Amino acid sequence: MLPLMDEPSIALRVRDHEDPGVEVRVNFGVFAGRHATPAEIDDLARALREIVPAFTIVAEERHEFGDAVEASVHQVVIEVAREHAADDALADRVVVLAGEWTSACVASRHGGGEL
């Protein structure tokens, strides 16, 4: 048995993982060439609040490694818990909203151009 600690752990193993009802991955960096800013994440959250009552947004930099491949990707992940994920129509709406948000973010930094 591990001793109890007063300090929080730096790294934790997740034994059980409950999948979200909806998970949408946005390849933000592929189109924007950068990470999403905190202000842009806030804009996404405001838009999502109009279609779902509760959700999680994770902005991440993923590093993937294989035999002859290394990749670094800036992604934004939107997760909606099962109790708020009514049906596939909600997932479709989140995908469309995320695409529109990404397009607006790219346009705002690249002189109003389109993807």
Identify which has the larger pLDDT, 49 or 64.
49
Q: Measured between alpha carbons, how far is residue 45 from residues 26, 40, 41, 70 in Å?
A: 14, 9, 6, 31
Q: Who has greater pLDDT, 86 or 24? A: 24
Return the C-alpha torsion angle 7, 10, 14, 20, nearest 10. 100
Per-domain residue ranges of the chain? 22-57+73-109
pLDDT tens column, 28-59: 999 999 999 999 999 999 999 999 999 999 99
Helix (H) or strand (E) holding 63: strand 56-65
Taking the CA of residue 22 as centre, how many other CA atoms within 13 Å lie in the half-sphere pointing to its CB?
A: 25
Q: What is the mean pLDDT of the chain?
A: 87
The CATH architecture of the domain made up of 22-57+73-109 is 2-Layer Sandwich (3.30)
In this predicted structure, what is the pLDDT of residue 82? 87
